[in-house]
């Protein structure tokens, strides 16, 4: 959804959502700076942590949950410069 290039100089795109992303896709391995989000499904907490930590960059991450214990456990396991809960 989105991804339309802005009509100006440079590499600017409108806010973009990529869904159905898998771990082996380039978009999951490299960080994009801009109004872009990639959505990948996972079945277990461990699978989500593994996928998040598979990037060699790890500048930032976020944990969205209603459970404080899950938030603390997962955010502590993420290898990222900044983690938002």
Q: Tens of pLDDT along 50-72?
A: 988 988 888 888 999 999 999 99
Q: How far apart are CA 46 and CA 43, in angstroms?
A: 9
Beta strands in 1-85 (DSSP E): 16-18, 36-38, 60-62, 82-84
Range of the domain at 25: 1-41
- Model confidence, pTM: 0.74
Mean pLDDT rounded to a whole number for the chain: 88
Q: Does residue 29 sit in the same domain as residue 64?
A: no
Do 36 and 60 reside in the same domain of the chain? Answer: no
Identify whether 50 is part of a domain: no
Domain annotation covers residue 47: no
| The total number of structural domains that make up the chain | 2
């Amino acid at each position: 959804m989105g991804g339309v290039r802005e009509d100006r100089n440079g590499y600017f795109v409108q806010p973009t959502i990529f869904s159905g992303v898998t771990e082996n896709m380039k978009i999951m391995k490299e960080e994009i700076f801009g109004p872009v989000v990639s959505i990948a499904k996972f079945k277990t907490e461990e699978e989500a942590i593994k996928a998040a930590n598979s990037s060699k960059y790890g500048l930032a991450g976020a944990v969205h949950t209603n459970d404080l214990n899950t938030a603390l456990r997962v955010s502590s396991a993420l290898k990222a410069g900044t983690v938002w809960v």
